[in-house]
Amino acid sequence: MVGQNITTVRSDCNKRTEYWVQTQNRIALAVCVAAVPLLYYCYTSVMLANFKRRAGHFPGAVFPELMDLVPAIYWAAAFLVARIIAYKLLLVPAATVAVKMQPGWDVSQLNQRREKFQHCLFLCFYYAGATAYGWYVLVDKPWVPAAMVPGATGETVNCWRGFWTQTVQPEVLTYYLLSLGYALQSLVYLVCRKHRRDFLEMFLHHSLEISLIAYSYLYGYMRIGTLVLAVHDVGDVFINITRCTNEARYIKSTMVLFAMLLASWVYFRLYLFPVHVISSSLWEGINEIVYRVGDPDGLSGSGYYFFNGMLIALLVLHVFWFFMFLRMIYFFTTQHVVDDAVDQVVNEADAASSPAGDRKSKQS
């Protein structure tokens, strides 16, 4: 009788899971359809900005073009190939060694833990590499402050000086295309692999991330965009290594790394992001784009409202998730349930790990 009840419950759970996956697919399709008018509006706004430049309002203006982003597709393909190779040669063996059977687990749970460990370890390697390369590219740039990249000596106001005539250095464009390529491959990988409960959240996140990177380039916001990438990449290293130790059930290491995660979250996302990035984009940007140039209609077609609206929404999500982290710490200190606290804390960190603020469903 007990065995039959368990079988019935599992069957019901599988049906609900299948129904939810189908529902997510329908919602994702509806979002794609609804996004078409918005993308068209943004594209026409970009065309307006380039028309103003070509019309002679700003002699010597440069013209970001959509075709400039084509190499990101090749980077996406390269990331997919690297991901497949890394899984076979490194990630699967590492997960087998690190994640061992724990009391209360069955074989299915062990395999799920190892699968998530592999995924998190790959993300950890990528964000560590992206952070190192980003710092290397940005350290000598005049718009990067010392508080953001070690060794830098610039000022954020240089993101906007000569806004309409700014040229793009090859290494900065490569950094941007790498980030866009990684976002593209993440979306392809998400769609092609077996859909999980967090499919919809991740689909929306990757779609938004691709749109923001692409349009920030087309609007001419690449300099401030590199600062946004740099602020978020470094924090993602701590998040994903914490997820790895959690999947392997190294509880003490997880809690230590989570403390480091909180410290990086406060410094990079609650201090540097609003104080250096958003304030520069809001105030220094409007001063250089409109008042210094002397064009009273300078904001028309500049993407100012769209870009800053996204940055402010992102900051609100950062603050929200920080208070969620504090709630998890309170739960741990008052309930003294170590395993549950670790799971909840790391899942919350996982949900907020990206610039788009995606929220992932909890997984056992």
Q: Nearest-5° angle of CA 69, CA 74, CA 77?
A: 130
**Tokens representing residue 42 in the block:** 């943004």
Rounded to whole angstroms, how far apart are CA atoms 169 and 130? 18
CB 238 within 8 A of CB 321: no
State pTM to two decimals: 0.79
Average pLDDT over residues 320-340: 70
**Tokens representing residue 248 in the block:** 């392997």
Query: 232-280: per-residue pLDDT in tens?
Result: 999 889 989 988 998 888 888 888 888 898 999 999 999 999 999 999 9
Rounded to whole angstroms, how far apart are CA atoms 217 and 100? 45
Query: 116-166: per-residue pLDDT in tens?
Result: 899 999 999 999 999 999 999 999 999 999 999 999 999 999 998 887 778
pLDDT of residue 363 exceeding 50, the answer is no
Return phi, psi of residue 353, to 5°: -75, -10
Return phi, psi of residue 124, to 5°: -60, -45
Query: 288-298: per-residue pLDDT in tens?
Result: 776 655 555 55
- Helix ranges (H only) for the chain are 2-54, 71-86, 92-98, 107-138, 170-192, 199-219, 222-247, 251-264, 279, 285-286, 304-335, 338-351
Average pLDDT over residues 215-243: 89
Cα-based distances in Å from 270 to 249, 274, 302, 348: 29, 6, 27, 17
